[in-house]
Amino acid sequence: MLRTRKLDYYGQLILVTCTLLSVPFSYFIGVGIGLFLLACWQLISALANTPAFIHTGYKKRILLYWTFFIANLLLIALLFLLENDLNENLILSVFGVTIGAALSIATYYLRIYYRLIELLSLRIELDGLTKSKH
């Protein structure tokens, strides 16, 4: 399971890197597509790993991630629902904020996910050491 988590983490890290490196070539279309793919990937990853976060003592961190993720998603949905009623400049400004927030949320998830993987690796290593002494 740890190997799967590491593959998941590094895959997300590669996707973030490709997304950011696409800016000079495709401007913000590449970022939008990359963020959409990353958000879908992280949603599945976070759903699968939330029990592990809670079990290892990272409950506050994963709940903070979910709070920001849902708030950002609701803000984007609200923009689309009120698209005809709001000023175009306001929509673009708020959408820019949500894109920045999405990058921050993705980075935050990668940080806490990396810490979870390190903790689980350490636990496996310590379990091996304590079993070998008996």
Provide the angle, in degrees to the nearest 10, between the axes of the packed helices 59-81 and 88-132.
160
Average pLDDT over residues 43-69: 95
Mean pLDDT lowest for which of 9-13, 114-118, 119-123, 128-132? 128-132
In 22-87, alpha helices (H): 23-55, 59-81
Average pLDDT over residues 86-112: 89
Average pLDDT over residues 57-66: 95
Cα–Cα distance between 46 and 121 in angstroms, integer? Answer: 18
133 phi, psi to nearest 5 deg:
-80, -15
Confidence label for 12 from pLDDT (cuts 50, 70 and 90): very high
